[in-house]
Amino acid sequence: MNAPQLVVHRDKELMAQAAAARLITKVVDAQASRGSASLVLTGGRNGNGLLAALAAAPARDAIDWGRLDLWWGDERFLPEGDPERNVTQAREALLDAVPLDPARVHAMPASDGAYGSDAEAAAEGYAAELARAAGPGEHGGVPAFDVLMLGVGPDTHVASLFPELPAVRETERTVVGVHGAPKPPPIRISLTLPAIRAAREVWLLAAGDDKAGAVKIALSGAGEVQAPAAGAYGSARTLWLLDEPAASQLPRSLYPPASA
Ligand SMILES: O=C(O)[C@H](O)[C@@H](O)[C@H](O)[C@H](O)COP(=O)(O)O
């Protein structure tokens, strides 16, 4: 496992703007070298804040939106169009403003979609979609995403992998249904840690003083079942993008003073 890198920004707005700029460069480089790029989006305030910053970024359209695959790390299992769904919020923040190829936007199933209200069947359907998209050298049935983004919850959850619940313990399946999530709504669909780890780079987003405890726990050697964020790492890079309040409980030695 590669050691996590940390960058700490002055506040959550700057963190979102800097993360958006970083993402543009990453996507442009991937498209220049491979002709396409793939991202995994996350829900929540920080995830949507990054998308909004990307929508407003001057260099936004350096990205060839038609050659970008978008996936989700998790989804609230609600009816299509529900304002609480991560994809609904992503569309409002960015997706409706850029010329994506709809065939390359892979939303997780809704609770009134092809799988009805069966979250497990919906999870299996998404796992199958991921497997179809995986290339010949990409084992584990998941594409090697260029960047997989994860908001970090105050309890150290990422995606819909909550401490001590069954989903964070999953070692085989790539996508699972989640019931009894402590963060509403209770029923969700989530990538598992094995799927998250298929990504080349995993970026964890945490801003605000309500995340300071989670950041400290996750970066201080906690186990992944007790602190799921501790188990989220990429095959090539793991990057924590923080603001100063979220980093306020970390020893200063963990991150360079230059990041601001
Ligand atoms: O469906 C969700 O709620 C998100 O995917 C979830 O994993 C989120 O990223 C974290 O809870 C952080 O959310 P905030 O950034 O709003 O604190």
Is 258 part of any domain?
no
Q: Is residue 183 part of a domain?
A: yes
* ipTM of this complex prediction, to 2 decimal places: 0.98
For the chain, the domain total comes to 1
Domain assignment present for residue 121? The answer is: yes
Task: Please check whether residue 88 lies inside any domain of the structure.
Answer: yes
By the 8 A CB rule, do 187 and 119 touch?
A: yes
Judge whether 256 lies within some domain.
no
Asked whether 84 and 243 are in contact (CB, 8 A), the reply is no
The strands making up 74-76's β-sheet, listed across from edge to edge, are: 74-76, 188-191, 175-178
Give the domain extent around 94. Answer: 5-220
45 lines ligand 1 (CB under 6 A): yes
CATH number at residue 42: 3.40.50.1360
- Per-residue pLDDT, 256: 64
Residue 101 lies in a domain: yes
For the Cβ of 44 lying below 6 angstroms from any atom of ligand 1, the answer is yes
Task: Render each residue's pLDDT in the chain as its tens digit; 260 residues.
Answer: 778 999 999 999 999 999 999 999 999 999 999 999 999 999 999 999 999 999 999 999 999 999 999 999 999 999 999 999 999 999 999 999 999 999 999 999 999 999 999 999 999 999 999 999 998 878 789 999 999 999 999 999 999 999 999 999 999 999 999 999 999 999 999 999 999 999 999 999 999 999 999 999 999 999 999 999 999 999 999 999 999 999 999 987 787 655 44
The reply to whether 14 falls in a domain is: yes
Q: Which helix (H) or strand (E) holds 17?
A: helix 12-34
How many other C-beta atoms can be found within 10 angstroms of the C-beta atom of residue 180?
10
pTM: 0.97
Q: Is 74 in the pocket of ligand 1 (CB under 6 A)?
A: yes
Q: For ligand 1, atom 9, which residue shows the shortest CA distance?
A: 151
Using most ligand atoms within 8 A of CB, pick from 150, 183, 241 the residue to mutate for ligand 1: 183
Q: Whose CA is nearest to atom 11 of ligand 1?
A: 153
- The reported pLDDT for the residue numbered 207 is 98
Residue 63 in any domain: the answer is yes
Rounded to a whole number of angstroms, the CA Rg of the chain reads 17
Which SS3 state, helix, strand or coil, does residue 151 take? strand
Joined together, the tokens standing for residue 154 give 């105050």
Report the nearest atom of ligand 1 relative to the CA of 75. Answer: 1
